[in-house]
Structure 1
Amino acid sequence: MSIEPQPAPSVWRARLWWIGGALAAGAVAGLVIAWMLQSSDTPASAPSSTQTATPTVTQTSTPAPTPTETGFPVNTASYDTGGMPEVNVFAVVAPLPVDAATAEPFTGELASPIGAAAPVWADPTGEPVAYLPSQYQHGGTTVPVIERQEHWVHVLLPGRQAVPSQGNPAQVTGWMRVADVALTGTPTVVEVSISGRTVDIVESGVSNRIATDFAWGTEQTPTPVGRTFIMTTAVVPEYGYTRGYPIVYLGVQSPTLDGFGGASVAVTAFHYHDARSGAVSNGCLRLDESAIEALAALPMGTPVIVRP
């Protein structure tokens, strides 16, 4: 076995210095590389110092939509009512239509003519057929609205389209321009049930029952059913059966009688009578004194609906 010669001590020291220097240089290079890698891996949420231009948004104004007319178109024409028939309790105006939706609710409004009179239409697309006065001795000038449009109101009216012997005597209606009437709200409606034998005054949805029995028309002279209204209220002393209590006249008339008591009309009414139970009247609704007084306190035009 041979032994290789060992380098001198000075040679070892030189090698150690070279190795140490190489290691130190490598460590420094590693730190530089690590720092560079860390700097290039900045999170997306980190704020950036680079300034970017903000886009400008141009504001454009949107024009307001034009309101759409509802119902029949506006009519601003002037009319001379002097040549037209007057709508009142005695009137028979053939062009006026009868109520075609007798069970439908009211709108909760009353209409009264502005000025001396207001024209009435059977069809708002045509010409007026009559006029409603603002004053009439037997009332009927404040009427309930059954349909409201932007320019028109559909109302119940006094009078008839025909007498029973010649046509349909049912409750008549007509159209009036909103511009021709004063409109007021009413929270009240009178509801009558013949089969239930009840009469209620309903105000703002709250019912006050004023009768649990009353008299109504016979089979030959029935009480008209459907929508109507309080036309007027009066005390008529010569009608002894009323005992001096008010008669509350309605806007509808008998379906079978052309006239009554020598008059050319047969108006249905609430009134007092001693015999006030069952189908015994000529069409009127006979009630006791407290019920009549409650009804007489209601304003003209108050809606009434009579159900079978």
Structure 2
Amino acid sequence: MGDAETDGPAAVEPDSIAPSKRRPNVWVVLALAAALLAGALTVAWLVRPPATEASAAPTPTVTATPTRTATPAPTPTPTGFAANTASYDVSTLPQISVFAIIPALPVDDAAFTAPLPTHAVAKGIGAPVWADPTAEPVAYLPHEYPYDGTSVPVVEEQENWVKVLLTGRQAVPSQGNPAQTAGWMRKTDIDLAPTDTSVVVSISGRTIDIVRAGVPERIASDFAWGTDRTPTPLGRAFIMTTRVVPEYAYTRGHPIVYLSVQSPTLDGFGGADVAVTAFHYHDDRSGPISNGCLRVDPDAITKLSELPLGTPVIVNP
């Protein structure tokens, strides 16, 4: 590259002037000067020390992320009573119904606890019921029954079992505890369905509310309940059946909403072997004047009669 720059500018054109008349050519002198200057610059460039490169940006230090080993999800521990896969002939067991007295059935042990928002119905012709899931079944709940009581609220749920409220009694009042009965059923024997409605009664507050999805609707602010001799059963129960009974003239043709629980003092009533508590219409419907039933006005009994069977009812003092 240096030779080319020197030869180019320093080259002269062929002689065209006689020697005797030759003068210094100013253009030649300038060309020579330019050539010398270019050469000097070239030499200076060649001998100049190379420029110091800018300091390279430091390479960032990468900190290794610790390797995490995924922890496997723990296997769920079975809760509650162990599964029971035995087969049972339910026709050999006592049938649970409003008329049944089954001493082996336990009475409800948590009377004022709200049931779960679930109800159960037996599969097939019916399903066995246990007083103790570690023992043998003591009765069976039919899938259908003329007086209903077969759609039952769940009060406790486990992995393999549910505890439900039942119709019938452990004993009549004169011979034992007639309170609300309960029992255990296998989940494989039943169909479960959600329910979001309940009825809450306050005798001291003289109120009846229908509660849907946690929202109460006041349907009565006065009503009649049982006397001291024939008190209204307290605690939780459920709607067993709803029907119109024309023979009971005091209902004025309004439906009767029967509950699963019976009188704590009467073995029977009106010539029947049962003393079932119910909501019903009556002209006299204020204060402690009934045989245990809850007497309400036409609007209240209409709304109560529209509720599905198995709806929980809690009667508070």
TM bucket, shorter chain: 0.7 to 0.9
- In the alignment, which residue of structure 1 is the partner of 2:251? 242
Q: What are the Cα deviations for residues 91-120 of structure 1, in whole angstroms up to 9, with x where unaligned?
A: 000011111111111110010001110000
**1: distance between equivalents of 2:285 and 2:182?**
31
SS of the equivalent of 1:93 reads coil
What is the deviation of 1:63? 4.2
**2: distance between equivalents of 1:159 and 1:263?**
14
- In the alignment, which residue of structure 2 is the partner of 1:46? 58
Q: 1:296 pairs with 296, 300, 305, which one?
A: 305
**2: distance between equivalents of 1:97 and 1:70?**
22
Distance verdict in 2 for CA 1:47–1:290, change over 3 Å: same
SS of the equivalent of 1:274 reads coil
What is the deviation of 1:82? 1.1
Distance verdict in 2 for CA 1:55–1:226, change over 3 Å: closer
Q: What are the Cα deviations for residues 148-176 of structure 1, in whole angstroms up to 9, with x where unaligned?
A: 11111110000000000000000000000
Residues 57-206 of structure 1 aligned to structure 2 (within 5 Å): 62-206=71-215
What is the deviation of 1:56? 12
Distance verdict in 2 for CA 1:137–1:60, change over 3 Å: same
SS of the equivalent of 1:118 reads strand
**1: distance between equivalents of 2:65 and 2:209?**
68
- In the alignment, which residue of structure 1 is the partner of 2:274? 265
**1: distance between equivalents of 2:187 and 2:284?**
44
- In the alignment, which residue of structure 2 is the partner of 1:28? none
**2: distance between equivalents of 1:209 and 1:55?**
66
Q: What are the Cα deviations for residues 22-78 of structure 1, in whole angstroms up to 9, with x where unaligned?
A: xxxxxxxxxxxxxxxxxxxx9xx9339xxx9x9999886654422111111111111
SS of the equivalent of 1:292 reads helix
Q: 1:209 pairs with 197, 207, 218, which one?
A: 218
Distance verdict in 2 for CA 1:61–1:167, change over 3 Å: same
**1: distance between equivalents of 2:67 and 2:302?**
71
SS of the equivalent of 1:202 reads strand
SS of the equivalent of 2:188 reads helix
Letter in 1 for 2:229: Q
Letter in 1 for 2:58: A
TM-score (ref. length: structure 1): 0.82
Give unmatched runs, 5+ long, in structure 1. 1-41
**2: distance between equivalents of 1:204 and 1:61?**
40
Letter in 2 for 1:254: S
Q: 1:220 pairs with 220, 223, 229, which one?
A: 229
**1: distance between equivalents of 2:232 and 2:67?**
71
- In the alignment, which residue of structure 1 is the partner of 2:287? 278
What is the deviation of 1:249? 0.1
- In the alignment, which residue of structure 1 is the partner of 2:261? 252
Give unmatched runs, 5+ long, in structure 2. 1-54
Distance verdict in 2 for CA 1:58–1:288, change over 3 Å: closer
Identity across matched positions, percent = 66
SS of the equivalent of 1:182 reads strand
SS of the equivalent of 1:179 reads helix
Higher Rg: 2
What is the deviation of 1:213? 0.4
Letter in 1 for 2:272: A
User: Aligned residues, how many?
Assistant: 265
Letter in 1 for 2:202: S
SS of the equivalent of 1:265 reads coil
**2: distance between equivalents of 1:58 and 1:170?**
62
Confirm whether residue 229 of structure 1 aligns to residue 238 of structure 2: yes
